[in-house]
Amino acid sequence: MQIKNLSKYSNAEKIVLAEQLWDSVSKNDLEISDEVKRELDIRIQNLEEGKTELYSWEEVKAHLKSLR
Protein backbone atom coordinates (compact mmCIF):
# COMPACT_ATOMS: atom_id res chain seq x y z
CA MET A 1 0.00 0.00 0.00
CA GLN A 2 1.26 3.44 -0.84
CA ILE A 3 -0.17 6.77 0.20
CA LYS A 4 0.68 9.43 -2.33
CA ASN A 5 1.02 13.18 -2.03
CA LEU A 6 1.07 13.46 1.75
CA SER A 7 3.06 16.65 1.35
CA LYS A 8 -0.06 18.47 0.17
CA TYR A 9 -1.63 18.07 3.63
CA SER A 10 -0.93 20.23 6.65
CA ASN A 11 0.64 18.73 9.75
CA ALA A 12 -2.72 19.02 11.51
CA GLU A 13 -4.42 17.05 8.73
CA LYS A 14 -1.71 14.40 8.87
CA ILE A 15 -2.22 14.05 12.63
CA VAL A 16 -5.97 13.59 12.16
CA LEU A 17 -5.28 10.93 9.52
CA ALA A 18 -2.85 9.14 11.83
CA GLU A 19 -5.40 9.20 14.65
CA GLN A 20 -8.09 7.80 12.39
CA LEU A 21 -5.78 5.01 11.22
CA TRP A 22 -4.79 4.16 14.79
CA ASP A 23 -8.41 4.12 15.96
CA SER A 24 -9.35 1.82 13.09
CA VAL A 25 -7.06 -0.92 14.43
CA SER A 26 -8.96 -3.09 16.87
CA LYS A 27 -6.97 -4.11 19.92
CA ASN A 28 -8.53 -7.55 19.56
CA ASP A 29 -7.02 -7.88 16.09
CA LEU A 30 -3.45 -7.35 17.26
CA GLU A 31 -1.47 -10.56 17.41
CA ILE A 32 1.23 -10.93 20.03
CA SER A 33 3.23 -14.12 20.24
CA ASP A 34 3.31 -16.14 23.46
CA GLU A 35 7.02 -15.35 23.75
CA VAL A 36 6.34 -11.59 23.68
CA LYS A 37 3.49 -11.99 26.19
CA ARG A 38 5.82 -13.88 28.57
CA GLU A 39 8.48 -11.19 28.26
CA LEU A 40 5.93 -8.43 28.95
CA ASP A 41 4.66 -10.34 32.00
CA ILE A 42 8.24 -10.64 33.30
CA ARG A 43 8.84 -6.93 32.79
CA ILE A 44 5.60 -5.99 34.57
CA GLN A 45 6.46 -8.29 37.47
CA ASN A 46 9.96 -6.81 37.74
CA LEU A 47 8.49 -3.31 37.72
CA GLU A 48 5.96 -4.16 40.41
CA GLU A 49 8.69 -5.76 42.56
CA GLY A 50 10.97 -2.74 42.20
CA LYS A 51 13.58 -4.71 40.27
CA THR A 52 13.51 -2.32 37.31
CA GLU A 53 15.50 0.88 37.13
CA LEU A 54 13.48 3.74 35.68
CA TYR A 55 14.82 6.85 33.95
CA SER A 56 13.20 10.18 33.21
CA TRP A 57 13.01 11.39 29.62
CA GLU A 58 15.56 14.09 30.50
CA GLU A 59 17.99 11.42 31.75
CA VAL A 60 17.53 9.38 28.58
CA LYS A 61 18.14 12.42 26.35
CA ALA A 62 21.25 13.37 28.33
CA HIS A 63 22.60 9.83 28.03
CA LEU A 64 21.98 9.74 24.27
CA LYS A 65 23.71 13.10 23.84
CA SER A 66 26.73 11.80 25.76
CA LEU A 67 27.09 8.94 23.28
CA ARG A 68 27.66 11.29 20.34
pLDDT tens for 18-43 read: 999 888 887 777 788 999 999 999 99
Mean of all residue pLDDT scores within the chain? 91
Between residues 27 and 64, which one has the greater pLDDT?
64
9: left (phi over 0), alpha (psi -120 to 50) or beta: beta
CA quadruple 15, 19, 24, 26: dihedral, nearest 10: 140
pLDDT for res 34 = 95
The model's pTM is: 0.48
